[in-house]
Amino acid sequence: MTFGQKSQGLMVVEQEAERLTSHMLGMDPSVVGYQSQPFVVDLIDHAILRTGEQRQQAKAKHKDRPGPKLFTPDFLVQLSGGRQRVVEVKLDGYLGDAAYQQKLELAQAILWDHGYEFMRVVVPISPKHPLRLNVPLLHQATLRKDLMPQTDVYREVEQLAQQGAHTMSEFCTGLAVSTRMAPVLLAFGTLSMDLTAYQIRGDAPAEPAFGSLDHLQLLWGLGT
């Protein structure tokens, strides 16, 4: 179980990579909402199956057909501007065999015909990868609306940058806050940093975000 921001609240995921993906979707400013395992794609009849009854009927109908029959996406994402993107999550090093790749290609073509974009994202497997370390901290920080910085903090950060601050610890010292507040400053657009390259800590390069949350668009950089 995990809490899915911009989703239905508590949700069930099948693996840790999906939990991490859910958290990235929740904090991404380009994401309006998302669902886990939203429907099933009928690879034989090229249909979208939205109910349990439809899925059971398709299984019975195709039971004697060789090859892949059904495909269940991991997430359906509603993007700003009205676009809908289906996301399939894989763990680095476990991308599936040739038959699975063919199944994905067929599913992608069917989804496109139904008006859905498709993307496979590959989550890093190393527990020391910055995303593995940063995303849980940021996810928790986004839930702390009570710690959201005041507007005048943005001006203070800009002044600190003009005075030469360029690391997380230098900005935090200038703001008279602990570096433990760094995830909050990042989550609410006070500071920005490359979250895929550096772990959130004092010596990480940082800069003013001016209220932008673009640095939280993390998932799309993992697409293949």
pLDDT value at position 151? 87
Give the pLDDT score at 91: 93
Report the distance separating Cα 217 and Cα 25, nearest Å.
Answer: 8
Nearest to 156 by CA among 134, 177, 142: 177
Tokens of 23: 């958290």
Tell me which amino acid residue 44 is. Answer: I
Could you state, in chain order, the average pLDDT of each consecutive group of 10 residues for the chain (224 residues)? 78 86 95 95 97 96 94 96 95 90 96 97 96 96 92 95 98 97 97 98 97 96 90
Whether the CB-CB separation of 117 and 83 falls below 8 Å is answered with yes
Burial of 204 (0-12, 13-18, 19+ CB in 10 A): buried
